[in-house]
């Protein structure tokens, strides 16, 4: 039987089970939270990002979740420096030129701070002279540090990044550092 779990990855946790860094490294990994042999991440989430990771023991399901060809939306809550105007949001919606090519169009909108969020440890750096704002960004790609590079390209560096949803799976009701077993999707169903 296929195993599928959702995990709310805290800030400053490596999105892998082992740390291939220096010996005695104090960096936390997935193994500090998940003791379930045989499951592996379906996609990555940077160490300095938070939020939803899906893990499974099924290689085909892992590929289906993480491969952009399956057009599975990933929804991020992004706290950015400054307040993006309509032109910045339109640029995100149209696709942004990055060093590794143009991104696919995204869905982007300003939002109020999501009420279901938890405090980050450590908190973001706040500058009294520079306002910040939250945006919701939906993409169907997964390039390295893509969301951070996109917001920086439109003049609004990311301060905090939380992946809230992958396809139909979300973080609803899942505390940071917690995981939950999920029923596997139907083999023919698209998520």
| Catalytic residue list | 46
Same fold, 1-70+169-186 and 73-166: yes
The crossing angle, in degrees rounded to 10, of helices 86-94 and 146-153 is 140
pLDDT given for residue 94 in this prediction? 96
How far is Cα 30 from Cα 6, in angstroms, rounded to an integer?
Answer: 12
pLDDT given for residue 19 in this prediction? 78
Task: Provide the pLDDT confidence category of residue 41 given band limits of 50, 70 and 90.
Answer: very high
Q: What is the mean pLDDT of the chain?
A: 90
How far is Cα 140 from Cα 186, in angstroms, rounded to an integer?
Answer: 21
pLDDT at 164 over 60: yes
User: Which tens digit of pLDDT belongs to each residue from 45-64?
Assistant: 999 999 999 999 999 999 88
pLDDT given for residue 189 in this prediction? 45
Q: In the chain, what are the domain boundaries?
A: 1-70+169-186, 73-166
Domain 1-70+169-186 has CATH 3.30.70.580: yes
| Predicted TM-score (pTM) above 0.75 | yes
pLDDT given for residue 191 in this prediction? 42
Class of domain 73-166: alpha beta
Which contacts of 61-64 are long-range, i.e. CB under 8 A and separated by 24 or more positions? 61/2, 61/4, 61/184, 61/185, 64/191
User: Which tens digit of pLDDT belongs to each residue from 87-99?
Assistant: 999 999 999 999 9
Please state the rounded mean pLDDT for residues 59-76: 86
């Amino acid at each position: 039987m296929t195993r599928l779990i959702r995990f709310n990855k805290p800030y400053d946790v490596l999105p892998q089970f082992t740390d291939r860094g220096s010996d005695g490294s104090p960096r936390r990994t997935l193994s500090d939270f998940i003791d379930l042999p045989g499951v592996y991440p379906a996609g990555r989430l940077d160490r300095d990002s938070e939020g939803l990771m899906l893990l499974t023991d099924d290689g085909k399901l892992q590929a289906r979740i993480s491969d952009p060809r399956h057009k599975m939306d990933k929804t991020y809550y992004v706290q950015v420096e400054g307040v993006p105007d309509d032109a910045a949001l339109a640029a995100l919606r149209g696709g942004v030129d990055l060093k590794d090519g143009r991104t696919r169009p995204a869905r982007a909108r300003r939002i109020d701070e999501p009420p279901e969020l938890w405090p980050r440890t450590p908190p973001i750096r706040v500058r009294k002279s520079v306002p910040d704002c939250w945006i919701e960004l939906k993409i169907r790609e997964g390039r390295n540090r893509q969301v951070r590079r996109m917001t920086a390209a439109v003049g609004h560096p990311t301060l905090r990044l939380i992946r809230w949803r992958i396809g139909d799976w979300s973080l609803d009701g899942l505390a940071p550092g917690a995981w939950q077993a999920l029923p596997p999707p139907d083999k023919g169903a698209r998520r």
